[in-house]
Amino acid sequence: MNNENNNKKNVSFIEEPNKLSHIKNVIAIVSGKGGVGKSIVTSMLACSISKKGYKTAIMDADITGPSIPKSFGVTNLKPINGDGGFFPVKTKNGTDIMSINLLLENETDPVIWRGPVITGVIKQFWKDVIWGDIDYMFIDMPPGTGDVPLTVFQTIPVTGIIIVTSPQELVSMVVEKAVNMAKMMNIPILALVENMSYVKCPDCSKEIELFGKSHITETAKKFNITVTDKMPIDTNIAATCDKGEIENIQTGYLKNTLNKIESLSAN
């Protein structure tokens, strides 16, 4: 009886990607709540890694709130059917993208689907898309710890997660939920990124903490996360995303996180 229970516990739900895909590292970008800039962090990390010469892809798993195609200026492109699957859209700099918005007739059409349908789409993005050879796939997750994160963590071989947060006190409690979920799923936490950490005065360059004192160092220490970055409120980033030109952004905001991601290729 005990052996039977142990076997059930060890059952793996991990699924293989499309037979024409070879994906070395899968990094999920998560947040405990919405509105913290998770998609911007995902886009910037993918752009920076791509510029280093790595083959990069983004799976937009935020099915009901997709924003990746707009940031990259590919909303007018559509995936192409191929033999054995369909090909993702490719950005100007060569990053492969798959998002529900690329499949809708109009990008503003709402996605009003129940959980099982949404999780089914996530599995299709993994199994039916011909990603090819990819060094780093970034998965832009919806906020929280619901159906989609559970599906991703159970069916896709995630190398590690990056948690995006903001300075408010309440968020530390929400972050703990994301951390605990990662631990329950036995997935390493690669980094903690605090967005909207401060705004820099255009006149004196003083860093002003609009949302209160940062607690990222204490939070990282509490959960034994050693790699952290702080991103300011930067109107240039928002404007660039709105124009679909995120690949033109040049910043050093995510240096520590990028170093951690790149080190995965050396292992």
pLDDT at 93 over 50: yes
Q: Which residue in 106, 130, 262, 135 sits closest to 190, CA to CA?
A: 262
d(CA 17, CA 31): 25
Determine the pLDDT at residue 88: 97
Does residue 15 sit in helix, strand or coil?
coil
Q: What is the pLDDT of residues 193-214, one digit of tens each?
A: 999 989 988 888 888 988 888 8
pLDDT at 1 over 50: no
Determine the pLDDT at residue 9: 52
Helix 38-51 and helix 255-263, axial crossing angle in degrees, nearest 10? 60
DSSP symbols for 216-250: HHHHHHHTT---EEE----HHHHHHHHTT-GGG--
Determine the pLDDT at residue 171: 64
**pTM greater than the 0.85 cutoff:** yes
Instruction: Kindly indicate the confidence band of residue 263, based on its pLDDT and cuts at 50, 70 and 90.
Output: very high
d(CA 117, CA 112): 10
Instruction: Kindly indicate the confidence band of residue 181, based on its pLDDT and cuts at 50, 70 and 90.
Output: confident
Q: What is the pLDDT of residues 133-156, one digit of tens each?
A: 999 999 999 988 788 998 999 999
Structural tokens at position 67: 């924003």
Greatest mean pLDDT among 53-57, 248-252, 262-266: 53-57
Q: Which residues contact 67 (CB under 8 A, 6 or more apart)?
A: 39, 60, 241
Q: What is the mean pLDDT of the chain?
A: 89
Residue 99 DSSP class: -
Determine the pLDDT at residue 265: 81
